[in-house]
Amino acid sequence: MSEPILSVRDLRVAFETRRGSLPAIDGVSFDIGRGEILGVVGESGAGKSVTGSAVIGLLDPPGRIVGGEIRLGGERIDTLPPERMRRVRGRRIGMIFQDPLTSLDPLYRVGEQIVETIRTHTDLSARAARTRAIDLLAEVGIPAPERRIDGYPHEFSGGMRQRVVIALALAAEPELIIADEPTTALDVSVQAQVITLLKRLCREHGTAVMLVTHDMGVIAEAADRVAVMYSGRIAEIGPVEAVVRNPRHPYAVGLMGAIPTLTQGSGRLAQIPGAMPRLTAIPPGCAFHPRCPKVFGRCRVDRPEPIRTDAAPARTGSDPASSSPSAVACHLYDPDAADRPAPAGGEPPVAFHAEPLQVR
């Protein structure tokens, strides 16, 4: 197994407030291999974007990393001084934000912004950097890049602006790209184009991608593996085929059941009762237990640790580093939990109804 591009171990992030230290991320661990897309999914407040911000070193105060470690290509980066971390951003880690207008300066032409990024992180001359910028715009599917490079952000459609942001993220040929909700603001047809583009660029450049999204359809279409987050922890992680088709954690089952399908009748959509707990009111034991249809005594007392599970192999063509073990943090799969009910075996609990998504 080759060394992963990104390795996160027991990551803990807290926000210091007048009420004390609030744990936003509590013991998150995962790897991303070369050329692999890891999807990170969960409800708002699960900790997806905070995890991405911690990796790239863009946590806003009073948030800070209080434990664990982050390694990029074997080098620990969470302890780097700010100036060295600034050189890592852009050069070794690229970022794609949800709204491209927050990433692009409206007062500068898109070409100027790409050229500046290239020259900041490489030794190319201004002429060579402009040529490289035109090539990048062509690679991400911008028509007539020699002309559009001199356009302003407002002269591009939403989908074209997102393509420009992807070109910007690729400008210095980074090892890792963190894509935070890159398709949320786009219509379905443009969303499909952006997903196809990300997959192609990931494979061609060997770039690792951390794809943060709410949309399980995007995960099923784009990701090789998926991590389901809940209340700052990973509830389940594994190959996308295994998690989407046969979820094990009750929360993952609920997410699958809440997705409408073309074959579904006119009845009410399934939903997970309750809401994500606030940072000031995370319950003891398993944070999901107040909403879980399979809750039993131990869930209310002991926090479950990840338990390795059997899962389907990674997609063909992915790096061997992507063959990380699957795991589920649920007492239902702990053989030492004597009072547990019979595991669902991946089948949806009675309260939820899940119908498999089509995974390509």
206 and 120 together in one domain: no
272 within a domain of the structure (yes/no): no
349 and 255 together in one domain: yes
131 and 181 together in one domain: no
Evaluate whether 109 touches 151 at the Cβ level (below 8 Å).
Answer: yes
275 within a domain of the structure (yes/no): no
- Helix (H/G/I), strand (E/B), else coil: 284: coil
Place of tokens 């070193």: 57
34 and 60 together in one domain: yes
pLDDT the model gives residue 310: 61
Give the pLDDT confidence of 97-124 residue by residue, as tens digits.
877 777 899 999 999 999 999 999 989 9
CATH number, domain at 55?
Answer: 3.40.50.300
Evaluate whether 156 touches 187 at the Cβ level (below 8 Å).
Answer: no
157 within a domain of the structure (yes/no): yes
Please state the pTM of the whole predicted model. Answer: 0.86
21 within a domain of the structure (yes/no): yes
Residues of the chain falling short of pLDDT 70: 1, 185, 262-267, 310-324, 337-360
| Two structure tokens written together for 265 | 């009748």
Our count of domains for the chain comes to: 2
161 and 196 together in one domain: no
Structural domain for 240, as ranges: 1-92+176-263+280-360
Give the pLDDT confidence of 184-205 residue by residue, as tens digits.
767 787 888 888 888 888 888 8
258 and 352 together in one domain: yes
311 and 255 together in one domain: yes
11 and 60 together in one domain: yes
Q: State which of 140, 171, 202 marks the end of a domain.
A: 171
Q: State which of 171, 198, 218 marks the end of a domain.
A: 171
DSSP result, 29-62? EEEE-TT-EEEEE-STTSSHHHHHHHHHT-PPTT
65 and 203 together in one domain: yes
pLDDT the model gives residue 251: 95
17 and 163 together in one domain: no
Residues with Cβ < 8 Å from 219, sequence gap 6 or more? 39, 41, 211, 213, 226, 240, 244
Q: State which of 138, 171, 204 marks the end of a domain.
A: 171
pLDDT the model gives residue 346: 42
271 within a domain of the structure (yes/no): no
151 and 219 together in one domain: no
296 and 199 together in one domain: yes
User: How large is the angle between the packed helices 126-139 and 110-121, nearest 10 degrees?
Assistant: 120
> In terms of Cα–Cα distance, which of 301, 219, 211 is closest to 252?
219
> In terms of Cα–Cα distance, which of 188, 178, 143, 147 is closest to 163?
143
269 within a domain of the structure (yes/no): no
pLDDT the model gives residue 340: 61
135 within a domain of the structure (yes/no): yes
270 within a domain of the structure (yes/no): no
Evaluate whether 331 touches 298 at the Cβ level (below 8 Å).
Answer: yes
For strands 233-239 and 75-76, give the pairing: unpaired
